[in-house]
């Protein structure tokens, strides 16, 4: 199984400041034949289901604000919120889809400082 | 607009069974792979099972042999039959459209979830 580890577990950022969430996979999720990273990011607000933000590590889902961006390759990935808004308070999860057994990180809680 | 509506959750005793349903609308259900993902109270997300558009099925190790995923394309409905339930199966169960690529897939639409509680 590919184990996904996120850091930090939680962070508090001032409104308008940058938030950075890291995700590390226990093995590479880069498929060499197409040079794509099989990595997605989700946002989950309290009492709501998760929402897809990013797939292929850096492709933003339609309708997702451009302050959200994904980067990284191989085993190390980052989700960046360039200017934190109150609406961004949530738990964020990474997920690998390199293998049939899809696995998630443990989540990172983002709060306002 | 994609809509996924889960039902069938509830309280069940350990060792019991439950069948979850997910009614889909707003897209061509028969052409999509579908997954179940669960979330224990206060915990993170765990993928449970996927069924492809051609009815291939896969399961997480923790549920294989106890849970069965199926679909009825004539009714645009996804199912999860859960047998031999354990306390650790207690969770909100979400159905999701599974954008399958290669062996895996990511989830681009989610239902609101249905709560399954396994307790005596």
Low-confidence stretches of chain B (pLDDT < 50) are none
- How many angstroms away from the CA of A105 is the closest CA of chain B? 8
Question: In chain B, which residues have their Cβ closer than 8 Å to the Cβ of A55?
Answer: 99, 106, 108
Q: How much is the average pLDDT of A36-48?
A: 97
Nearest by CB to residue A49, choosing from B46, B47, B112, is B112
**Cβ–Cβ below 8 Å for B45 and A61:** no
Distance between CA atoms of A73 and A39, rounded to whole angstroms?
9
The reported pLDDT for the residue numbered A22 is: 98
Could you tell me the CA-to-CA distances from A88 to A7, A12, A113, B42, B44 in Å, in that order?
17, 11, 13, 19, 18
Q: pLDDT band for position A86 (50/70/90)?
A: very high
pLDDT, residue A49, reads 98
pLDDT for the residue B55: 96
Band of the pLDDT at A35, cuts 50, 70, 90?
A: very high
Question: Residues with Cβ < 8 Å from A35, sequence gap 6 or more?
Answer: none
CB contact under 8 A, B103 and A99: yes
**Closest residue of chain B to A33, computed from CA coordinates:** B102
d(CA B85, CA B75): 27
Number of residues assigned to chain A: 113
Residue A106 carries which DSSP code? -
| Residues A40, B45: C-beta atoms closer than 8 Å | no
List strands edge to edge, sheet with B3-7: B3-7, B18-25, B77-82, B67-72
* A28/B contact by beta carbon, under 8 A: no
For range A84-107, the mean pLDDT? 98
pLDDT tens-digit readout, A61-78: 999 999 999 999 999 999
B40 touching A, CB under 8 A?
no
Hey, are the CB atoms on A50 and B94 less than 8 Å from each other?
yes
Confidence of residue A15 (pLDDT cuts 50, 70, 90): very high
- Please report which confidence band the pLDDT of residue A11 belongs to, taking 50, 70 and 90 as the band edges: very high
Q: How far is B47 from chain A (nearest CA, A)?
A: 6
C-beta separation of A2 from A96 below 8 A: yes
The answer to whether residues B106 and B37 touch, using CB atoms and an 8 Å cutoff, is no
pLDDT at B54: 95
Phi-psi sector, A76: left (phi>0), alpha (psi -120 to 50), beta: beta
Other Cβ atoms closer than 10 A to A49:
22
Give the integer Cα–Cα distance in Å for B99 and B110: 12
Q: Closest Cα partner for A6 from A63, A44, A47?
A: A44
Tokens found for residue A16:
């308008």
User: Cβ of A50 and B46 within 8 Å?
Assistant: no
Confidence at A7, pLDDT banded by 50, 70, 90: very high
Please give the structure tokens belonging to residue B29. 């259900």
């Amino acid at each position: 199984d590919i184990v996904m580890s996120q850091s930090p577990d939680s962070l508090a950022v001032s409104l308008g400041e940058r938030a950075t969430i890291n995700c590390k996979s226990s093995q590479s999720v880069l498929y060499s034949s197409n040079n794509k990273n099989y990595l997605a990011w989700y946002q989950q607000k309290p009492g709501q289901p998760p929402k897809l933000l990013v797939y292929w590590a850096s492709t933003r889902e339609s309708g997702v604000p451009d302050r959200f961006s994904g980067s990284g390759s191989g085993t190390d990935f980052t989700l960046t919120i360039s200017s934190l808004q109150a609406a961004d308070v949530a738990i964020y999860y990474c997920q690998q889809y390199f293998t049939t057994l899809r696995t998630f990180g443990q989540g990172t809680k983002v709060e306002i400082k | 607009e994609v809509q996924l509506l889960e039902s069938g959750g509830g309280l069940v005793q350990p060792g019991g069974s439950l069948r979850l349903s997910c009614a889909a609308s707003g897209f061509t259900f028969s052409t999509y792979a579908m997954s179940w993902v669960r979330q224990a109270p206060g915990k993170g997300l765990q993928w449970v099972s996927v069924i492809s558009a051609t009815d291939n099925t896969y399961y997480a190790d923790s549920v294989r042999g106890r849970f069965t995923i199926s679909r009825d394309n004539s009714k645009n409905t996804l199912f999860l039959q859960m047998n031999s339930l354990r306390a650790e199966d207690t969770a909100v169960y979400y159905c999701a459209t599974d954008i399958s690529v290669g062996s895996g897939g990511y989830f681009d639409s989610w239902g609101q979830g249905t709560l399954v509680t396994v307790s005596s």
